[in-house]
Amino acid sequence: MRALRSKKEVSSMEKGSILKVENLKVYFNTYQGIVKAVDGVNFEMGKGEIFGLVGETGCGKSTTALAIMRLIPWPGKIVDGRILLKEEDLLKKSDEEIRIIRGRRISMIFQEPTKSLNPVFTVGDQIAEAIVANQNVERNEAVKSARKIMGDVGLADPERIAKQYPHELSGGMAQRVMIAMAFSSIPDLLIADEPTTALDVTIQAQILELMEDLAKKFSTSVLLITHNLGVVAETCDRVAVMYAGEIVETANVETIFEEPAHPYAKSLISAIPQFGTTKRKILQTIPGSVPSLINPPSGCRFHPRCGFAMEICRKKEPNSITLNHFHTVFCHLYGAKNR
Partner 1 sequence: MRAILHINKKVKTWKIEHESQLKELRFILQLIRRNPLSLGGISVLFLLITMAIFAPIITPYPEDVIETHPAERFLPPTWEHLMGTDDLGRDIFSRIAFGSQVSLRVAALVLLFSASIGVILGGIAGFIGGTVDEVIMRITDMFLSFPSLLLAMAIAASLGPSLTNAMIAISVTWWPWYARLVRGQILSLREQPFILAAKALGLSRKRIIFRHLLPNCLGVVLIAISMDAGYVILTAAGLGFIGLGAQPPTPEWGLMISTGRTYMPRYWWCATFPGIAIMITVLAFNLIGDALRDITDPRLRR
Q: Which residues bind partner 1 (CB under 8 A)?
A: 69, 71, 99-104, 107-108, 110-112, 115-122, 129-130, 133-134, 160, 163-165, 167-168, 178, 181
Q: Which residues pair with 39 in a beta bridge?
A: 25
* Residue among 18 and 127 whose Cβ is closer to partner 1: 127
Min dist. Cβ of residue 219 to partner 1 (A):
21
- Residue number, 31 or 275, with CB nearest to partner 1: 31
Q: Residue 132: in which H helix or E strand, if any?
A: helix 123-135
Least distance from partner 1 to the Cβ atom of residue 133, Å: 5
| Residue 273: CB minimum distance to partner 1, A | 31
Distances (CA, A) of 117 to 103, 219, 315: 15, 26, 47
Nearest distance, CB of residue 305 and partner 1, angstroms? 32
Measure the CA–CA gap between 260 and 331, rounded to whole angstroms: 12
CA distance 167 to 16: 41
- For partner 1, the closer CB: 41 or 109: 109
Q: DSSP assignment of 12-69, as one string?
A: GGGG-EEEEEEEEEEEEEETTEEEEEEEEEEEEEETT-EEEEE--TTSSHHHHHHHHT
φ and ψ at 155, to 5 degrees?
A: -90, 110
Report the residue number, 178 or 321, with the smaller CB distance to partner 1. Answer: 178
Least distance between partner 1 and beta carbon 110 (Å): 6
Residue 184 — φ and ψ, nearest 5°? -60, -30
Between 167 and 315, name the residue whose CB sits nearer to partner 1: 167
Cβ-based nearer residue to partner 1, 190 or 233 = 190
Q: Closest by alpha carbon to 65, among 80, 48, 52, 46?
A: 52
Nearest to partner 1 of 108, 261 (CB atom): 108
- Of 51, 202, 184, the closest CA to residue 128 belongs to 184
- Shortest spacing between CB 159 and partner 1, in angstroms: 9
| Beta bridge mates, 220 | none
Geometric angle at alpha carbon 175, from 269 and 199, rounded to 5°: 45
Q: Minimum distance from CB of 170 to partner 1 (Å)?
A: 12
